[in-house]
Structure 1
């Protein structure tokens, strides 16, 4: 097949010399980034999917159901507290030694931690040791996740032709709804077993099979070549000895913008998924399969929206597309909860199609937006810390949304208000990002 020249450029420096790459090979690399990300997010999302249904009663039992759920969600949040550490560690590895090395390590860590969760004893068997071990393994998941998104996004963007960066970034983002589909589908299948099989043993199966998935992801990551952009930085001796420290020294203001811009993509998502599972099953007293089915519908719509949004970003600009997405999220926050409050499965499905689908417009090209905020030699650290410091806040959103629900006396306007506030913060930050990067090519 004929090779086409691919210009590897950065957001802050002149274009590098063209690198000749086979178009089919480039697509395979982006596909490998997507599949590896999807399998890694399957592991990470699996915890949130079963937090309220399984971990609350089995690992955090108590006389007050709301406190039991909050205990499970706090353990869930530990994974997000650990993500900035992963962003620092793997940002250092990715900016100094290469994207490929970091991505191979992250997928191994994530897969092993998830598999071990499937073998943990419960509180009834091991007492307080059980939630401690669960929380430790969740922290390991968080460290791995902290190094995943930035590296996978860079892998796609740094191989992408300049006019397809929005679409290629969106393809990697497809890993999130794919992970949602895989995790919610696996849990729904296990939950469909008769009697108490799900709580007794079947919940473990989706975790244990992660060992197979990690083998696939590791094989894909191992075959990927280092990106031409990083090879050029290394050959010109432009890599930093301590990239994370340089990030705080050179562009701390842009890092704050990156955190706020990405906030809804993290925080909003886990209110719509992890908290919503708890809200539907515990507050509305509906069967778990109702919300799991709705989340599956939403994830399917999310995949469609991501592709459309990625193509839109290549036409009108990535930052402009993110702004449109956040306006949509702001408008949908309350209507989504109103639909769920009907207790009708059809309307709950529609709520998740809106919440996870149409409100995902911003998520597709946001990696390209954040890349433009940082100099090339700090890309991995910049993307990783922007996503994961916002994730540090987002990880506690299900618990915070539960608190807002209690403040609103069990009425959905509490968590809906929280969701609106988060969307407003990210919208304002993206408008500021548009101003800061206005002289840079999209």
Structure 2
């Protein structure tokens, strides 16, 4: 009976501080590097969709329609993300966060490498775009479980007072993945066009096979979350909890909607200012593709700095406040970002893209702490994954919607700027409404585990 007394219940959250400094550093390094390699694979597709796939997989279409068709296959990956969230959420809540992360990285590495082996439309006809869409779908399945697992494994190993900054560590994988993917395309983009479209574009995708070995090695070294180990001990004593995904929707559907809104800018805004803006700059403004790729590279460097600073601020003022104000700043930055890009002057284009990416990175820094903090542990992986990836479904259509709106506005960028404002407003509202949820949970339960223990008993 002594194990049920209040003092032992915080054991999962307080287990993390007992880890040695070297163990924490290894955990954070593995989470960051593994996530960076995963996002490299995923972002690579977005860059290729803007530069290559319309020509090689949809050559019979008008260039503008071909670009939209390429973005449709891009969006397919986002449609698959909730499916991946359901699958890996269940795996993560029942069999372990570490187990889910090992499966996701293998799936992502294999599917990305296979894209580099695909023949084009000229070789196998309609099968080329069909296979491309299938592989993109499998990428989406993988990403559906990746982010939530990496975030939870990081936060469940570390003390709560540092969750603002620690939640930014897996987020660093996004700009680093952008640097790797855009940098890889920038290098092969230096090839003559004939070589680039023939075989050069395949090299960054084929590199995923080698990167998979690195990522898998790192994931195998990560220890399982102490929170999950405590969940398993409780399940052995009291029986397994109810189906995690069902419980997540039954008991916390409102928080899932809030999480969707809070996460929207970090996903949708990012692809608007990378995937879409590359297509807009090269296709509509006639800017050289190297300039647009370099702009995203500079933006990624800026994002790294913003994530570090915003994460540290979140430790002091609260993660949800940083996300809320980051959304407001992004609303104000929308039109200036596109005005700078519209000049078509290389330096100003780079400044505009970097400015926009920097703004949307503020809420992205600590969004993991906001979303994960709203849910009990017994179904946290499922709830966090579903919140983030349902938002990702909407975000996946952002480049397609932006391209369509651009046509309706006769190529004027004000339509894309308005879309960015709408996305940022969703994150501002979602983050603001997450505040009371976080205060309620922290105020009524000294630890997440205390609430979880009560929840298990009530639902059992």
Q: Which residue of 2 aligns with 1:240?
A: 241
Change (3 A) 1:315 1:22: same
**Aligned with residue 128 of structure 1, among 115, 126, 129:** 126
Aligned-pair distance for 1:226? Answer: 0.3
Residue correspondence of structure 1 range 24-173 to structure 2 within 5 A: 24-173=22-171
Shift of 1:93: 0.3
2:346 and 2:157 mapped to 1: Cα distance? Answer: 43
Cα displacement string for residues 128-152 of structure 1 (whole angstroms, at most 9, x for unaligned residues): 0000000000000000000000000
3-state SS in 1 of match to 2:167: helix
Pair 1:225-2:240 in alignment: no
Q: CA deviation at 1:92?
A: 0.2
CA positional deviation for 1:435: 2.5
* Deviation of the 1:241 alpha carbon: 4.5
In 2, Cα distance between equivalents of 1:61 and 1:396? 22
Question: What is the CA–CA distance in structure 2 between the aligned matches of 1:77 and 1:63, rounded to whole Å?
Answer: 19
Once residues 263 and 364 of structure 1 are traced to their aligned partners in structure 2, the CA distance between those partners, rounded to angstroms, is 13
1:184-223 pair list within 5 angstroms: 184-223=182-221
Asked if the contact 2:323/2:427 (under 8 Å) is kept, the reply is no
Distance 1:240 1:134 in 2: 39
1:346 equivalent to 2:347? Answer yes
Q: How far apart in 2 are the matches of 1:62 and 1:269?
A: 30
Residue in structure 2 matched with residue 4 of structure 1 by the alignment: none
Partner of 1:274: 275
Q: CA deviation at 1:96?
A: 0.7
Q: Are the counterparts in 1 of residues 372 and 384 from structure 2 also a CA contact under 8 Å? A: yes
Distance in 2 between residues matched to 1:32 and 1:424, nearest whole Å:
33
Aligned twin of 1:374: 375
Q: 8 Å contact 2:269–2:360 — kept in the other structure?
A: no
- How far is the alpha carbon of 1:162 from its aligned partner? 2.1
Instruction: Say if 2:254 is the partner of 1:253.
Output: yes
Q: Is the 8 A contact 1:323 1:431 kept in 2?
A: yes
CA distance in structure 1 between the aligned counterparts of 2:147 and 2:437, rounded to whole angstroms:
23
Could you tell me the TM-score, scaled by structure 1's length?
0.95
Match of 1:182 in 2: 180
> SS of the counterpart of 1:196?
helix
Q: CA deviation at 1:215?
A: 0.5
SS at match of 2:344: coil
- In 1, the alpha carbon distance for the partners of 2:47 and 2:193 equals 20
Q: Is the 8 A contact 2:157 2:226 kept in 1?
A: yes
Choose between structure 1 and 2: higher helix proportion. Answer: 2
Residues 162 and 436 of structure 1, relative CA distance in 2, 3 Å threshold: closer
The answer as to whether partners of 2:78 and 2:140 remain within 8 angstroms in 1 is yes
1:96 touches 1:240 (CA, 8 Å); kept in 2?
A: no
Number of positions where the alignment pairs a residue of Structure 1 with one of Structure 2: 430
Contact 1:147 1:384 in 2 (8 A): yes
1:381-434 deviation digits (Å, cap 9, x = unpaired): 111111100001111110100111111111000111111111111111211111
How much has 1:240 moved relative to structure 2?
Answer: 3.1
Once the two structures are superposed, residues 310-348 of structure 1 have per-residue CA deviations (whole angstroms, 9 ceiling, x without a partner) of: 100001111111111111111111110000000011111
Structure 2 partner of 1:390: 391
- 2: distance between equivalents of 1:14 and 1:349? 51
Distance in 1 (alpha carbons) for counterparts of 2:253 and 2:39: 28
Distance apart, 1:351 and its partner CA: 1.0
Q: Do the aligned partners of 1:96 and 1:241 also contact (CA within 8 Å) in 2?
A: no
Q: Give the gaps of 5 or more residues in structure 2.
A: 1-7, 444-460
- Give the gaps of 5 or more residues in structure 1: 1-12
Give the superposition deviation at 1:191. 0.5
Counterpart Cα distance in 2 of 1:351 and 1:155: 35
Structure 2: distance between partners of 1:62 and 1:410: 23
Q: Secondary structure at the match of 1:209?
A: helix
Judge conservation of contact 1:95–1:240 (CA < 8 Å) in 2. Answer: no
Conservation of the 8 A alpha-carbon contact between 2:374 and 2:441: no
Query: SS of the counterpart of 2:52?
Result: helix
Indicate the SS of the match to 2:87.
Answer: helix
Instruction: Tell me the alpha carbon deviations over residues 176-228 of structure 1, each in whole angstroms, 9 at most, x when there is no partner.
Output: 00000000000000001134211111000000010000100000001111011
SS of residue matched to 1:393: helix
Q: Which runs of 4+ in 1 moved over 2 A?
A: 13-20, 238-241, 435-442
Distance in 1 of aligned mates of 2:242 and 2:59? 47
How far apart in 2 are the matches of 1:436 and 1:241? 23
Q: Which range is displaced more, 342-351 or 160-169?
A: 160-169
TM-score after normalising by structure 2: 0.91
Task: Provide the rounded CA distance (Å) in 2 between the counterparts of 1:240 and 1:281.
Answer: 53
Counterpart-to-counterpart distance in 1, 2:203 and 2:412: 35
State the 1:358 CA deviation: 3.1
